[in-house]
Amino acid sequence: MRVQPGKAPDTGHSALAAAVTANMDRFSVPGVAVGVLQNGETWTVGFGVTNVDHPLPVTPDTLFQIGSITKTVTCTAVMRLVEQGLIDLEAPVRRYLPDLRLQDEDVAARVTMRHLLTHTAGWLGDYFDDTGRGDDALRRIVERMAALPQISPLGSVYSYCNSGFYLAGRVIELVTGEPYETAARRLVLEPLAMEQSFFLPEEVMIRRFGTGHLVVGGVPQVAEPWAVERSTNPLGGLISTVADLLRYARFHMDDGTTPTGDRLLSAESIRVMQTPQVRGFYPLDHVGLTWRLKRVGPVQTVSHGGATKGQQATFVMVPERGFALALLTNADQGGALGNEMTDWALEHYLGVKKPALTPLDVAPGDLVSYVGTYESPLSDRELSIQDGYLMLQLRPKGGFPSVDTPPGPTKPPVRMALWDEDRVVCLDDPMQGECGEFLRGPDGDVIAFHLGGRLSPRSAR
């Protein structure tokens, strides 16, 4: 696909613009909005089109679904409520929701907001369902969480848990007496002047917005449905622009003050959100309160990504350098573009480079212990051996944005290589550079595979 780029203003960012458009072509991404915050100055630009069927030029003001970056907004709202004395991160969630029911009663009695915000609750994370568009959407989906299986012990390991943010959003509703969206707007969006950030489709449809695309055989096709279920708003429902995300970055790098200089969060709360809480899996070092933390050379990156139906978002901050990158795309391969541009931006703007991972010289027989199927709610991960490489085949199962959503297209398999003990790196597009890690049980056998933040148990079959 040949991308028709937008025109970047001559502000010294022309090399970034060229790199973005080159990678749009490489990954077949129809549209991108990108923004940079550096030395107190912002730069934003759009490239390509909003929709391959009904194309409009992408501009810096084009709205995109930012997916799970929303989780950090939910956490920011929670921290405001912590400072107001309405939420205690260490208190059992049942203090706020006495009738909470989960499959494991002991977990239901002990789970805290900190567990939710660090993805350590341990139950099935990728659960999505349609509970309607009313103000009771969160209440209803939290009730359905009683059926979710417990995958790992409470607090034992980081495994990305979307469903935990249903509960976090519901707690916000209960302590404020407002629908989640109203509370998030009052507590975070309005004070930060994020005036082009919305939760509801009816707010977006009167503005220019990007439509998601699934890339099939190198050709982007419009993805349906466009909207996510309302229940998912606390974990991935925000629609925003790169300019608003850079305002948000400035807040989280300026110790919690608003554009008018008012203090919204204490510097201590900002610090706690960016402080390691639990160990991550490579390439993450740790997870803070929702933020993903990784050291690249001499600098600490604070980041989060987001994915919805055919839209992928990248958001990276380097607070010690006052630098942030926001990149919004309208294709399911946009995350690969975001990873490429993150590495590029860190090297070209800050002079720091991610270390290269050197594949180990491993005999095929040493790979046999990893072969098998690893089960995940949205897509199983099948591993086999071919030509001396581990081959990863993702098998989509559907289930997003609603439980009855059919599976998307099956992508070609990609090669993986060991680069450290029980650690692998993908070698082929669109997953090139993505890393995974295997977990072993007490007897030394491989029992799970951690990829894309998710812990996938090994199938017994």
Catalytic residue annotation = 68
- CA-based torsion, 459, 435, 222, 28: positive or negative: negative
What tokens were used for 79?
Answer: 């921290």
Around Cβ 17, how many Cβ atoms within 10 Å? Answer: 20
Around Cβ 23, how many Cβ atoms within 10 Å? Answer: 22
What is the Cα–Cα distance from 338 to 292, expressed in whole angstroms? 15
What is the Cα–Cα distance from 149 to 147, expressed in whole angstroms? 6
In angstroms, the Cα distances linking 167 to 83, 89, 107, 291 are 20, 13, 13, 18
Burial of 232: CB neighbours in 10 Å, binned 0-12, 13-18, 19+: buried
